[in-house]
Amino acid sequence: MTGAERTVVVHPSKQSLSDAAAARFVASVLDAQAARGVAEVALTGGSMGSAIFASLLQTPGRSAVDWSQVYVWWGDERYLPAGDPERNDTQNDDAGLTRLGLDGGTVFRVRGPDASESAEASAAAYGTTIREFGRGEFDVVLLGVGPDGHVASLFPHHPAQRIADEVAVAVHDSPKPPPDRVSLTFDCLNRTREVWFLVAGADKADAVAAALAPGADRWDVPASGVRGSVATRWLLDQDAAANIG
Ligand code: 6PG
């Protein structure tokens, strides 16, 4: 990767990481709207994916954002019915997404088995929606990282990683439950201005170090395979940063 910035910011606690990411998110959305009218963001599940919404609700600058001009996507979704408490979007909603003042028409959710015949059909439909409504690049993609180095629902040594030239892919036999998921592909995730990894906890320290190591291979450490065209930001707490060389 040339020309793009890669930064690592270490925060003293998960709470300060979440608060700082929320403040940074508000600033980035404002910048994107000033430059391009609509801000396009992709969200993540997991604990950090939800923590940022609790922080956002406390971030004073959020009132400056025109939330009706924010397009919301997800990097991945668990293939479960709408409203299922295990879905990433449901968890984001419950954490505060629904209280930000978004326009429901610009929140683009992945179809579950209640609204699609299969994860493959859901992935195809999501890809079509992104091509139809998206600008062709995200402004900000938020990503958690699993202890195994997975990102979105792209897992180490999983064949779904290999899907190229598609926007989204069906994932089966996920090592993290539930087994069926829909994920954006590397190709799609990499069409992003700023990629932010939000990672907290000692159980992530090895995965973070492996992803940041020179020559890291995304087949082994998927998190090493997503980068922003403008910046890639690793936003960590001290525990997650403990093993960086
Ligand atoms: C999922 C999530 C997943 C998550 C990471 C990190 O669907 O399971 O999208 O990719 O982001 O596992 O999760 P934590 O932040 O909870 O550690």
What ligand 1 atom has the least distance to the C-alpha of 151? 10
- Positions of the chain with pLDDT under 50: 1
Beta strands in 110-240 (DSSP E): 138-143, 168-171, 181-184, 192-199, 231-237
Residue with CA closest to ligand 1 atom 1: 45
Query: In the prediction, which pLDDT does 1 show?
Result: 46
Distance, CA 203 to ligand 1 centroid (Å)?
Answer: 13
Distance, CA 79 to ligand 1 centroid (Å)?
Answer: 14
Residue with CA closest to ligand 1 atom 9: 45
Query: In the prediction, which pLDDT does 212 show?
Result: 97
What ligand 1 atom has the least distance to the C-alpha of 48? 15
Pocket of ligand 1 (CB under 6 A): 44-49, 76, 78, 88, 144-146, 150, 152-153, 176
Residue with CA closest to ligand 1 atom 4: 46
Across 14-45, b (16+ Cβ under 10 Å) vs e yields beebbbebbbbbbebbbebbeeeebbbbbbbb
The closest of 70, 79, 49, 234 to 168, measured between CA atoms, is 79
Query: In the prediction, which pLDDT does 129 show?
Result: 98
pTM of the model: 0.97
Residue 61 CA to residue 112 CA, distance in Å, equals 34
Residue 131 CA to residue 214 CA, distance in Å, equals 33
What pLDDT, in 10s, does the model give residues 129-148?
A: 999 999 999 999 999 999 99
Residue with CA closest to ligand 1 atom 10: 152
Query: In the prediction, which pLDDT does 165 show?
Result: 87
Residue 209 CA to residue 214 CA, distance in Å, equals 10
Place of tokens 């406390």: 58
Residue with CA closest to ligand 1 atom 7: 45
Residue with CA closest to ligand 1 atom 13: 46
Distance, CA 45 to ligand 1 centroid (Å)?
Answer: 5
Query: In the prediction, which pLDDT does 3 show?
Result: 59
Query: In the prediction, which pLDDT does 60 show?
Result: 87
Distance, CA 35 to ligand 1 centroid (Å)?
Answer: 31
User: Bridge partners of 10?
Assistant: 236
